[in-house]
Amino acid sequence: MNAVLLSADLPYWAISLLRVLGGLVAVLLPAGTVVYLFLFKMLSFMQSRLGPMEAGPYGSMQLFAEVGKWLQKEDIVPASAQPEARIFKMAPLIVLASTFLLVVVVPFGPDAWFTNFETGIFYALAVSSVSVLGILIAGWSSANKYSLLGGLRAAGQLVAYELPMVLAVIGVVIQAGTMNLQEIVVAQNAGSMFGWDGLGNPYVLTQFVAFLIFMISVQAELSQTPFDMPIAESELVSGYMTEYSGFRFLIFFIGEFATAGVFAMIASVLFLGGWGVPFSWFGWTTIDSIDNWMNVAGPLILFAKMMALVFFIMWIRFSSPRLREDQLQRFAWKVLIPISLVNIMLTAVLKVAF
Amino acid sequence: MAKPKVPGMFKGLGVTFATLLATAKNGADTVQYPHEKETPPIRARGVIALHEGNCTSCMLCVRSCPDWCIYIEGHKELAPPRRAGGAARKVNKLDRFDIDYALCMYCGICVEVCPFDALFWSPEYEYSETRIADLLHDKSKLGEWMQTVPEAPELEAGAEKKGKK
């Protein structure tokens, strides 16, 4: 996107505006699709009901109705949160901002990207933990013991699962030999398995353990069931979201599902080959030889891969009960982290060996 | 030989996915309410109907109502004697019979207690109102519900009909 825009010779403000619009689309479109397709429809079908059917054909306009409803609601700041009202109001914005910062590094096509950081995955893992700040602020400034408990649980959980996530990504980084997400995509699609390049070399095959650990960590980072103790609606009354109403709750809600979409995008970039198709199909070898239509097809391919991954995230979410807080921590520190360390070691040894 | 144990988590995933496919194939177990309606069972406690002619305003239902949601007013009237030359009879005339469905808890004690079969259960359930005061059903409205009262089911074989032969 960026390279295309630069070649069009637009003024700086126009490029910035287009980038903002692109970011909005890249965050809100997946979030809306995920909510409608999975939260409304798949969840309903799994419970043998039809879900929303009234707003638009098959309830497809339901989301707009919901957003309209939330926007009409009163924006309440509880009396005990009044002293820090400004911080209280800021918290959901921080959570959503981390999602927008995250989508910045996702490559959507050979020239369709917002920024092309040399250390893209490092940046992505760093800004993904900014949302912890927002959640902690929300939990603390609500001046409510349930919210505080939820916020602290969220902080503990997100810190604990940040680690296996980073360690899982290290395996991919070692194998690709780069931290640039664009180059990781190219490395997968230009690669070959034992001389056969019909599928490229998606790292989900060679780094399957890392993929599993990454997806489990994503599940926990998004605090989706079975790791939803921070928002546990039956024990903590939705945790840090308890005191939020109206459009601030809506922002938390969008943030949750947009982050699910963006994390799934990053996972598909790291493990499933991102926007690319195996280059050997069309006789491409490097990123410069790719035809221009991939800038249109790439985002769609990435979107399809993202939906497939979100399907698994949501499927597990809808099917499992909640773990206990200590089980969650034990699983992260005693199972996931050792396995991912072994995975790094093995990857490094094999990388040197081959 | 016991079947190999599937971890509960994967079993759960299987159940939800099977339900997803079954719903997509056979349709949901639920009905889309305002468009399609299920007929309630004939003994469903939907609304209480009044057969005005049978009511003697004996006040038993009013007194037995746990919510005090039945209001009866009546007065005595003189009716012509049964036999020529007899004294005029005194009968209770019903002026008002209201049930406040905002209060009613559908226990059915009034229907049970009525000695003259003036109150009946009807399975009708669509009578919500936008004003709470409109939930007070008066004599004529309660009488209209009589149209919806289903036929009493057949007695079981060997059961004896109570009351006067």
Q: Is the pLDDT of residue A1 over 60?
A: no
> ∠A234-A240-A245 over CA atoms, to 5°?
95
Give the span between the Cα atoms of A193 and B57, in whole angstroms.
92
Task: Evaluate whether A92 touches A147 at the Cβ level (below 8 Å).
Answer: no
Residue B136 dihedral angles phi and psi, to the nearest 5°: -80, 105
Token pair 């239509």 is found at A293
Give the span between the Cα atoms of A27 and A255, in whole angstroms.
9
Task: Evaluate whether A114 touches A20 at the Cβ level (below 8 Å).
Answer: no
Cβ neighbours for A137, distance < 8 A, ≥ 6 positions apart: A87, A88, A90, A91, A94, A151
What does the CA dihedral A79, A80, A81, A84 come to, rounded to 10 degrees? 110
Determine, for residues A45 and B24 on separate chains, whether the beta-carbon distance falls below 8 Å. yes
pLDDT the model gives residue A2 = 54
Q: Compute the average pLDDT of residues A228-239.
A: 77
Cβ neighbours for B118, distance < 8 A, ≥ 6 positions apart: B50, B51, B52, B53, B54, B55, B56
Interface A-B: count of C-beta contacts within 8 A = 42
* Full set of structural domains in chain B with CATH: 47-148 (3.30.70.3270)
pLDDT the model gives residue A63 = 86
Determine, for residues A320 and B12 on separate chains, whether the beta-carbon distance falls below 8 Å. yes
Number of H helices, E strands in chain B: 4, 5
Quote the minimal CA–CA distance from B28 to chain A in Å: 5
Q: Is the pLDDT of residue A129 over 50?
A: yes
Report chain A residues whose CB lies below 8 A from the CB of B15.
319
User: pTM to 2 decimals?
Assistant: 0.79
Residue B76: DSSP 8-state: E
Determine, for residues B28 and A50 on separate chains, whether the beta-carbon distance falls below 8 Å. yes
- Which pLDDT band holds residue A7 (cuts at 50, 70, 90)? low
Report chain B residues whose CB lies below 8 A from the CB of A44.
23, 28
> Using CA of residue A220, residue A181, residue A22, residue A286, what is the dihedral sign?
negative
Give the span between the Cα atoms of A71 and B85, in whole angstroms.
80
- Which pLDDT band holds residue A221 (cuts at 50, 70, 90)? confident
Q: Which residue blocks in chain B are alpha helix, DSSP H? A: 8-26, 60-64, 109-113, 139-144
Token pair 């299920």 is found at B38
Written as six digits, the tokens of A175 are 């194998």
Determine, for residues A319 and B15 on separate chains, whether the beta-carbon distance falls below 8 Å. yes
* B81-97 pLDDT, tens digit each: 888 888 888 888 888 99
Written as six digits, the tokens of A199 are 């599928």
Written as six digits, the tokens of B78 are 């003189």
Q: Is the pLDDT of residue A343 over 80?
A: yes
- CA distances to A58, A314, B97 from B16, in Å: 21, 11, 52
* B21-54 pLDDT, tens digit each: 888 888 888 888 888 888 888 888 889 999 888 8
Residue B109 dihedral angles phi and psi, to the nearest 5°: -65, -35
- Which pLDDT band holds residue A14 (cuts at 50, 70, 90)? confident
Q: Is the pLDDT of residue B58 over 80?
A: yes
ipTM, two decimals, is 0.70
**Weakest-pLDDT range from A40-49, A195-204, A294-303, B126-135:** A195-204
- What are the extents of the domains in chain A? 76-353
Task: Evaluate whether A156 touches A329 at the Cβ level (below 8 Å).
Answer: yes
Residues in a beta bridge with B121:
B48
Quote the minimal CA–CA distance from B2 to chain A in Å: 25
- Which pLDDT band holds residue A60 (cuts at 50, 70, 90)? confident
> ∠A328-A329-A330 over CA atoms, to 5°?
95
